[in-house]
A and B are shown apart, each in its own frame.
Chain A
């Protein structure tokens, strides 16, 4: 079945540091890949997505590239801010039987200190 493995946290960084959160996946076909963010006490918001190999998703300074050869979708940001403190989830979904569900990784808690 499908699965997502993402870097275990928590991750603690200083403001303006470089961020990488690793995400790899297992899927039977060609999934769409997503990063969602959950701020404290809130629901999930889509951060970015990519639907095919070599696509790059980007939003709010965050980027992730769909790498089919390494089955990865690592999240990066060049300079984090305190307001980026949140839980980040990597997720995938496939056409066919998994079209109507997201399979999530376990989430990575990011704390950015001033």
Chain B
């Protein structure tokens, strides 16, 4: 069983469209994340949720809206897609925060291409 699964894995869409990426974890963790990896492989946190509560919103444009219906799910909705949104988006989860040394488990990524 995949611990952190996200769908779709590949997404090609036109500028201006709205799209969603779904994420589910079956590890029983209380914390979930979205990270963005750009074309140079640089990884940056977008959002962190702990027990469905938004903890970190790292200066992400408000076109990006995360939603956590329960502790096992964290979906990412993106409005009015722009070319610069093309990237790989990783969902992740952990039990407690990583500052305490807890391991963050990553999904396989969703490759978004905006044309």
Q: Which positions in A face B, CB cutoff 8 Å?
A: 31-32, 34, 36, 38, 42-46, 49, 51, 87, 89, 93-96, 98-104, 106-107, 109
The interface size bin for chain B is 20 to 34
Most buried by A among B35, B40, B98, B100: B98
Q: Which of B58, B90, B97 contacts A93 (CB 8 A)?
A: B97
Cβ contacts under 8 Å, A107 to chain B: 41-43
Binding site for A on B (CB under 8 A): 4, 31, 33, 35, 40-45, 48, 50, 55-56, 58, 90, 92, 97-101, 103-109
CB pair B98 A93 closer than 8 Å: yes
Task: Given A43-B106, A46-B104, answer yes or no on A104-B44 (Cβ-Cβ < 8 Å).
Answer: yes
Given A43-B106, A43-B108, A43-B109, check contact A102 B98 (CB 8 Å).
yes
**Cα-based distance from A95 to B50 in the complex (angstroms):** 14
Which of B56, B100, B106, B108 is A101 in contact with, Cβ under 8 Å?
B56
B106 contacts A44, C-beta separation under 8 Å: yes
Tell whether A95 pairs with B100 under 8 Å between CB atoms, given A43-B90, A106-B40.
Answer: yes
Q: Are A43's CB and B107's CB within 8 A?
A: yes
A88 to B106, CA, bound (A): 14
B-chain residues with CB within 8 Å of residue A43 when the two chains form the complex:
4, 90, 106-109
Q: Which residues of B contact A44 (CB under 8 A)?
A: 43, 90, 92, 106
Q: Which residues of B contact A38 (CB under 8 A)?
A: 41
